[in-house]
Amino acid sequence: QTLHQGRLATPRELQALFSLPAPRWPIECEVIQETIEHIEWVPPEPEPFCPPMDPEQAPDSLGEEQGTVVYCSCPGTRAWAAPLGVPCSPQTPTTVPAPPAALQGSRFTRARAGGAPGPLSSPAAPLEGPQDTTLLFESRFESGNLQKAVKVGPYEYVLTLRPDLYTAKHTQWFYFRVQNTRREPLYRFTIANMAKPKSLYGQGLQPLLYSQWDAQSRGIGWRRVGTDVRYYRGGVEEPPAFCLSWTVRFPHDGDTCFFAPCYPYTYSDLQRDLRVLAADPVRSRYCAVRALCRSLAGNTVYLLTITGPGGVAGKRAVVASARAHPGESGGSWAMRGFLDFLLSAHADAQLLRRLFIFEVVPMLNPDGVVVGNSRCSLAGRDPNRAYGTALPGSFPGVWHLRAMVQRVLAEREVVLYCDFHGHSRKNNVFMYGCDAGGDSAGTRLRQRIFPLMLSKNAPDKFSFPSCKFQVQKSKEGTGRVSMWRLGVSYSYTLEVAFGGSTLGGRSSHFSVEDLQSLGRLFCDTLLDFCDPVPAKVGLDPTPGCPRVPRGRGDAGTVPQVQQCLAEADVLLRQRMSHEPGSRGSWSDVSPSELES
């Protein structure tokens, strides 16, 4: 039952919502017909970081100008590609020229299910025979990203990522398939056009590999691989390009394998999860799924409204969103854990549903996720910088989310907003909050309480010292700051590292289980923050809510709000005590000075 419309969905509406329509792609994009799915698997032991390498020392390898183009694919350019399978020369350069106006300097025009009509082109060079060891590359599937591969040695390849569609930048996310593997050789891959000057690959992060043979025969899914992982500046050109290079041995001959920086979570994965939810007669009773809006390409931006029985009068709201940035798939796994726990039969989940109405948008930018962008939507801009200026025709997800929060605020208090993201340069999990510096000391302290509590509930994952609360001018267009300006007192961005944890004795990558556990720990912290148990002094409990003790599971000692307020005050005083003449006072100090 849709709570806002007050009526039951018709069978035709339910069928349309959960019939898993094919994702809609820009008309320029070719899409292979194969369905790409991966099993879920958690390694039996944490996967440690690899030893970091010297960022100033590039590996010894040939340049791509001495190689052979073996894969070249760019949306909207079927006839435009470097010659395949031809040794490079001044007449056949491997440097991919700027794509035509279909992608740069123009705008998205239209979309269709399945992408470009007609027969597919052949972006990969054909094998010359069974002895040909050339890898066969492919990325024309949902969330895939690889523009070009150049073979520069028997088992060495230089790769180029595709920029976000309708832009010339934002190269970070990669996701591609290789076939015709050999088990014995040591392969080297070098992505030559990474955009960011710093990366966790310089601190021990390894790429992910998925072996289809291992998944089917041994039940093993995504795993961290790679030796001699290096991240370095690629040359002297401006703007600079950075290189990610690693070596790897494939587990089997003739295997089909995939590479990615973080566990992929596609738009179709979300649709499958929602279909399972809709088919569950218990969970679907307190979760209404409807369309918040349609994206530019016509993909549904889903809105989940979750609450317990007994009506909505007097309940406060919590709003959460994820995947504004499509290349930050870790945010989707944390969101999935959040929803799984919130919709479970756990006593804490039941209490949360009695206390609050949850409005959740699990994928704000489905178009970017579908096409394999790193940061932008099909508007060619970052949606998480557009909240202040967004128009429904350019950023429908952002505009409708903001409008929805405004409607909810007119009816009830929104206790907290959180936008789930991923971070490529800092390990652990942390938050960004909103401290403008002009409020009272108590208000400024309370901005820090939820993150501090979460750090206590997740001591081996969440780093409170990494949290920032300054409201910078450049961040005014973010969801966090926009919701805070609307009147949501506690508004945060949750950042989940692409890498893993360096806390609690750990020095290892996050698994899918780690990422999903963040959702449960977030719910646990929300109850601590707004706890109805009278022994705690937190935010005012919702009138009429039962004041019953809760089981704490394995979260440990419950942090009390007053204790956390005092602890945050001490931490800020300690920080200021290192400043000459401050006498430990921080209440009149700006957030930028506090965090410098």
126 near 7, Cβ under 8 Å? no
Distance CA 449, CA 220 (A): 40
SS3 576: helix
At residue 36, φ and ψ (nearest 5 deg) are: -100, 115
Distance CA 174, CA 168 (A): 16
Give the CA count within 13 Å in the CB-facing half-sphere of 591.
22
**Of 30, 142, 156, 495, which is the active-site residue?**
495
Distance CA 70, CA 84 (A): 5
Distance CA 499, CA 510 (A): 6
Residues 6+ apart with CB under 8 A from 4: 290, 305
DSSP H/E element including 329: none
Q: In which region does residue 170 sit, left (phi positive, over 0), alpha (psi from -120 to 50) or beta (all else)?
A: left
Distance CA 193, CA 169 (A): 10
594 near 572, Cβ under 8 Å? yes
DSSP H/E element including 304: strand 300-306
Q: For residue 343, what are its two tokens?
A: 């919709």
| Residue 423: Cβ-neighbour burial (10 angstroms; 0-12, 13-18, 19+) | buried
* Beta strands 508-509 and 414-423, pairing class: unpaired
205 near 498, Cβ under 8 Å? yes
576 near 585, Cβ under 8 Å? yes
R_g of the chain computed on alpha carbons: 25
Is-catalytic flag, 495? yes
Distance CA 494, CA 484 (A): 15
Q: For residue 208, what are its two tokens?
A: 């992910």
Residue 68 carries which DSSP code?
A: E
422 near 510, Cβ under 8 Å? no
To which residue do tokens 């009272």 refer? 440
Extended beta strands in 307-447, E state: 316-322, 356-361, 414-423, 429-435
Residue 2 carries which DSSP code?
A: B
Distance CA 44, CA 218 (A): 13
Distance CA 132, CA 154 (A): 10
The partner residues of 419 in beta bridges, in order of sequence, read 321, 493
| Residue 210: Cβ-neighbour burial (10 angstroms; 0-12, 13-18, 19+) | buried
Active site residues: 495
